[in-house]
Amino acid sequence: MGNSKLIALIIIVATSLFACNNDDNTNGTKGKLSIQLTDAPFPTDIVEKANVTINKIEIRKSGETEGDKFTILSEEEKTFNLLDLTNGITASLVDLEIETGSYDLIRLYVTTASIKIKNIEQEFELKIPSGSQTGIKIFIDPSLEVKGGLTSELLLDFVVSKSFILQGNTNSPAGIKGFSFKPVIKASNLSTTGRLTGNVYDAEDAAIEGAQVSIIAADTVYTTSFTDENGEYALLGVDAGTYKVTYEKAGFELVTEEEVEIAAANATEKNIQLTAVATTEETTTEE
């Protein structure tokens, strides 16, 4: 065989081997997936605990049908008090490497759920509506893109106020007859959503605890948070866009912020001062 033909053959073989190796590397590439759990809070004057136990988490690639195999992300049983996961506090559900690709559906298997009311011994065990057998389906829109060598972050927002439906008289613990469990969970891709954070304080710069912060989109409440003992609040997983935000607390005047912009993968900070409402007695004294 001539030298030129031998060299050509070597080049062809080497090119083929490189292509095969490159395909193998591409197919074997993995990205990191981190899934966090949080709670869109609600007033907890009478509720002490809102517990859920999760024993399995699965994810589905985009475009696959319901009957296709899901990838199991975790089978570790974990119990969370959702009331601990407010104002930006999250709990880790998953932190591992998976195949690269686009994913559009999570299945969360909840085995138990319960509510503990303050000042009474009774704890309400809730019936799980098929969540332990078929899993609670949580769609990811837009789909989550997992890329090689990078970390993709997903936030699951467990909306307690809509998931635990109170039965009976809500004005006192004695009037509560029970709860029904209808899980409402929102999945947010943290690379395409932002967050709103800040502090709420009074005219003397003292922190206001329990002030309600609401993001309004098209005259509908998008999400809500309540300030902690330090007057701090945080709303996570907010779709990028411009919103109206209201700040309110009994005894204070309502404050409305128009045109608040939330940018993807960024935090918007708003520190707000609330003014106390003048009482009738104060008005009379001034006159």
* CB-neighbour burial class of residue 287 (10 A; exposed 0-12, middle 13-18, buried 19+): exposed
- Count up the domains in the chain and report the number: 2
- The Cα 177–Cα 164 span in angstroms is 13
pLDDT digits (tens, 9 = 90+) for 180-239: 899 999 999 988 899 999 999 999 999 999 999 999 999 898 988 899 999 999 999 999
Of 172, 191, 210, the domain-final residue: 191
What phi and psi values does residue 26 have, to the nearest 5 degrees? -65, -45
Average pLDDT over residues 257-269: 96
pLDDT digits (tens, 9 = 90+) for 105-148: 999 999 999 988 887 777 889 988 775 678 999 999 889 999 99
Let me know whether 216 and 84 are in one domain. Answer: no
CATH number at residue 254: 2.60.40.1120
Residues ≥6 apart with Cβ < 8 Å to 180: 126, 127, 164, 165, 167
Assigned domain for 114 exists:
yes
Average pLDDT over residues 235-257: 96
Assigned domain for 88 exists:
yes
Let me know whether 205 and 264 are in one domain. Answer: yes
Residue pair 243/268 in contact (Cβ under 8 Å)? The answer is no
Predicted confidence at residue 73, as pLDDT, reads 97
pTM (2 d.p.)? 0.79
Assigned domain for 47 exists:
yes
Residue pair 216/222 in contact (Cβ under 8 Å)? The answer is yes
- The Cα 75–Cα 14 span in angstroms is 44
Range of the domain at 279: 194-287
Of 191, 216, 235, the domain-final residue: 191
DSSP class of 252: B
Of 191, 218, 236, the domain-final residue: 191
